[in-house]
Every structure is written in structure tokens, then in C-alpha cells.
Amino acid sequence: MITRRLFLWAAAALSATPGRLAALSRKTGSSPRRPGPGGSSDAGRGVPPARSVTVLRARDAAFDPWIEVDSDAIAGNAREASRLAGGRPLLAVVKNNGYGLGVSLVAAALEPVEAVAGCAVVTAQAATELADSGFSKPIVLMGRVDDEEAVDLASRGVRLTTIDESSLDQLSRVARRLGRPVPVQVYLDTGMNRVGLSFRRAPELLERLAAARAVQVEGTFMGFAEDDFDATQLVRFTEITQAAQAAGIDLGRLHAASSHGLFFRPEAHLDQVRPGLALYGAYPDGARALEAARLTPAFRLRARVARVERLETGDSVSYGRNYVAQRPTWIATLPVGHADGYPRAAVDGCEVLVGDDVYAVVGAVSASHTILEIGSERTVEPGDEAILVGPDHAAIHPNAVAERAGISVYDVLMHLSSRLPRVAS
């Protein structure tokens, strides 16, 4: 007899197209799309090729977790960021798949905002995806690319960036191949020692860049270490840029402030600001307390309750059994876990909103499951919608989840699995 798992593996190997697999699956009489309560999102676990697992996760599967993206919140946060920067324009950072929310959705939400001058990404793949999505404002690629990628991206209008000295020669080659100067952003390294033209050689390199006439500099920027070294970095940046400008070199718009600088370094707002995190409605460390801005979390991590069960006194939960019921209590299982991006450390104090109430995460968060303590009354049912992260309650705000789990708020966003469907709210 052919087992269901073997059948699915064979079907996936035969044809990886979802439509064909769905058609074949229906003949087995059991739908892979709707595991019932007590069923599991791990149905594909152990299936040999990863691809078949992907095929099994149909986008409209009722019990699969999903991410809701709020375009109005993204646009509102962008306007708020510009207001905080005294009305300056934004170079909106949408790297890492729009901080986990989905780069195309995010860029589409940002595009109509007048204050958004363009978007910045770090990989050639993201720049290409953004250009293909029809985003019509300038796209800045703050990462290294090879010559072929550089020519392709520059011909699509993507702005390349100086990563180190060799970028100068590459930009000359690209300009020659295209037969025209290429618009670029000059990245200066003022002490992060990560990427950019070293501040020690920057004066000389800027002269070389200007003399080569291969580029048209649209902007010059740096990144801060985000501590008390920032003042030193800003002095270095100011000295270099002022000397170059005094020598008649056009550096375009100067920018330095990311979300941290937006809140804490007003002296570094310069000609434009370059936030990422704040656009998605989360605050850099310490900024939430300032109440200087009203940001709205622009996404919800959602799932439906898969199972509700009653524990007797002494019953334990999940791997390692670190939760033991002290009295009879109801628990609920959500089919979402750390493989989806919900933090493992959520068990150290996070809560999840189901209906109007929040419930504590208990027991180890596993790859695909999170368990909630419901209490003595059965107040939730399988199928009820849960929000693990979002704007709907103070306890599930991304910053609250980060604080409670003891992790960076960046991880709450950027670790959201790219497998989860993104749905516009």
C-alpha cells in the first residue's frame, strides 16, 4: 500500500506545480490543506524534498499561520518619520524582504508617500525584485555586486554604492559599458569598519571619483555605531564632506540617520534621513519611552487555534516539560512556532491575543507550535484567531515582544519566515 507521505513525495517529484499536486491529492480523498483540530502543520515533516513541503503549504490553508501587512500604517509611519526629521525626505530602508514584511508590499505602500525619496536595499536580488515590482522612485543598492550585476542594475536605474576603493574602477567600467555617467551614492566609512570608503582615504578618493566623471553623485552617506562614538563619526563625516564641497565636488544629498539617529541624533538629520525599523512601526531601543512619535506596528503575525485541551494537576507541556499545571487548566495550541519567526524565548513572558484577552505562552516554543495557558474556563475554541505580534494590544507590540523575550526588536521583524503568506489587511 502506498502511504500518503510516499504518495505526496512521488507527486511532488512528478510535478512541482501546485495545481497538479492539488488535483492529484484530491484523488486520495484527504485534503492536505485542512488538517483538522488536533492535526498538525507538521504534516510534511520527514518528506524528503523540501520542495514538496512548500507545495503542501497552500496559501489559503485555514490553519496555517500568516502575516497581515497594513499599508496605511507603513505610509503613516513614513510621514511620521519625516515629521520627526523636520519634514526632510526619507530614503526608506526596505532591506531583508522589507524587514520581513515583504518587499513588494512595503514598497507599494511607501511609493505614494511624498516624503519618500526612494528605497534602499542591500542585495542585488532585492534591487531586481523591487525594480521588477514597478517601484518608480530611485532604488539604492547598499551592497557589493559583480560587474554583470552592476551593468544590469545600473541600466535599470538602480543606484550603486561605493563599497570600497575598487568600486571606483567598477563604476568607471559600468559607465563605459552604458556609455553614460551612472548615478551613485557614496558610502563613507567613518569608523564602523563594515562597508564604504575609509574616512582616512576618503578625501583623495572623492577627488578621484569627481575627476573620473564616470558617476553622478546623488548622495553621500554614513552609518552610526549608535553609541557615544557617534559624535566622533559625525565630526569625521562633516570634515570630509565640507572639504570636498569647498573643493567644488558635488556630493548630492548628505544622510546619516537611521531610526536610532532619527530619534536621538537630530544634529545628524542632514539633508535626508534613512530609517528602516521605524517605518514598520517599531521603535529603536529607548525611543518608545520618549513618546516623540506615534508609530503603528504595520503587521500582524496571525494563526488560528488548532487544539484546546484540559490539563489535570501535574500534567506538563511541550519539550523539556518546563511547565507543570498546578491546578486543572485549559491550554490552547497555536500551529506557529520558532521556524515561522516567533521567538523561542517567547516562553519567558510573552502573551498572545485571542479574542479580547491575552494568554501566557507556556512550555517550550517548538518549530511549529506554541502553547497558551487559558485558565480554569474554556474561553477559546479551535479556529479562533490569534495575534502573536501586532498593534492590537500593548502586550503584543513588537517592542513588548522583544523586551519580554529578551531579544532585539529587529529579530521580531526580520526573522519572520519568508514562507508565511503576506496578506494585505
Ligand X SMILES: *Cc1c(COP(=O)(O)O)cnc(C)c1O
Active site positions, annotated: 95, 319
x-or-dash string of contact with ligand X, 132-161, rule CB under 6 A: ----------x-------------------
Binding mask 202-241 for ligand X (x = CB under 6 A): ---------------------x------------------
Angstrom distance (rounded) from CA 164 to CA 347: 43
The type of residue at 349 is: G
The size of the interface with ligand X (CB under 6 A), counted in residues, is: 11
Q: 76 or 223: whose CB is closer to ligand X? A: 223
Among 95, 144, 236, 338, binds ligand X (CB under 6 A): 95
Residue 116 touches ligand X, criterion: CB under 6 A: no
Residues 343-402 that bind ligand X (CB under 6 A): none
The nearest distance, CB 17 to ligand X, in angstroms, is 37
Q: Residue written as cell 499599508?
A: 71
Q: What is the C-alpha to C-alpha distance for residues 195 and 211, in angstroms, rounded to an integer?
A: 23
The residue (of 42 and 285) whose beta carbon lies closer to ligand X is 285
Query: Taking every pair of C-alpha atoms in the chain, what is the biggest distance, in angstroms?
Result: 81
**46 CB neighbour count, 10 Å cutoff:** 9
Provide the 8-state DSSP code for 159: B
Q: Is 160 helix (H, G, I), strand (E, B) or coil?
A: strand
Task: Kindly state the smallest distance separating residue 280's Cβ from ligand X, in Å.
Answer: 8
In the bound complex, what is the minimum distance in angstroms from residue 95's beta carbon to ligand X?
A: 6
Q: Which of 8, 93, 126, 388 binds ligand X (CB under 6 A)?
A: 93
SS3 call for 112: coil
In whole angstroms, the minimum distance from the beta carbon of 391 to ligand X comes to: 18
Element (H, E) at 303: strand 299-304
Cα–Cα distance, 51 to 338 (Å, whole number): 20
* Nearer of residues 89 and 275 to ligand X, judged by Cβ: 275
CB 267 within 8 A of CB 279: no
Buried b / exposed e along 73-92 (16+ C-beta atoms within 10 A): bbbbbbebbbebbeebbbbb
Residues of span 271-290 touching ligand X by CB under 6 A:
274-277
Taking the complex as a whole, the smallest distance from the CB of residue 403 to ligand X amounts, in Å, to 17
Window 239-268: residues binding ligand X (CB under 6 A) = 258-260
Query: Based on CB atoms, which residue is closest to ligand X, 109 or 277?
Result: 277
Smallest distance, Å, CB 73 to ligand X? Answer: 16
User: Which residue's CB is nearer to ligand X, number 260 or number 302?
Assistant: 260
Q: Are 173 and 147 in contact (CB under 8 A)?
A: yes
Cβ atoms 334, 371 nearer than 8 A: yes
Local structure of 179: helix, strand or coil: coil
Q: Indicate the helix (H) or strand (E) that contains 14.
A: helix 4-14
Please give the residue ranges that form the binding site for ligand X (CB under 6 A).
93, 95, 142, 223, 258-260, 274-277
